[in-house]
Amino acid sequence: MFMGEFQHNIDQKGRIIMPSKFRDELGDSFVVTRGLDKCLFVYPLTAWKALEEKLKKLPLTKKDARAFTRFFFSGAVECEIDKQGRINIPQPLRKYANLEKECVVIGVSERIELWAKDDWDDYFEDSEESFAEISENLLDFDI
């Protein structure tokens, strides 16, 4: 399980340090893709394969299902951690998530999210104000 929040800079070549707490669980290779809310999602291969199986079951006849799978899979790349503990984020993914300098790496259960620091700060501030309401909406999920 991934948890925690870490701040790192991304260099001009698109490399960012992956927190050491996350490296072992990610394994030798993993998948980075466009996520929701203008961040990137990072999945270990086992979690990616499980998600892939779920997405394969979406009905091809549904426009939203086609759009979501296109969005998700077209941005996906398999990555590895280099000897300095960094991953290289391709330019299209950096552009999508606005990753230019200061970044935040957060653990979210079975995935990792990569955020531009300013975007994360804005998102967190907006969500923090409505956290009680959000938690009430999740009561139906037995949380």
11 pLDDT band, cuts 50/70/90, is: very high
Q: Is the distance from CB of 26 to CB of 81 less than 8 angstroms?
A: yes
111: containing domain: 2-141
Do β-strands 102-109 and 2-9 pair in parallel, antiparallel, or remain unpaired?
Answer: antiparallel
113 pLDDT band, cuts 50/70/90, is: very high
62 pLDDT band, cuts 50/70/90, is: very high
The CATH number for 116's domain is 3.40.1550.20
Tokens, residue 53: 């199986």
Q: What total of structural domains would you count in the chain?
A: 1
Average pLDDT over the chain, rounded to whole? 92
Question: Whole-angstrom Cα distance, residue 5 to residue 114?
Answer: 10
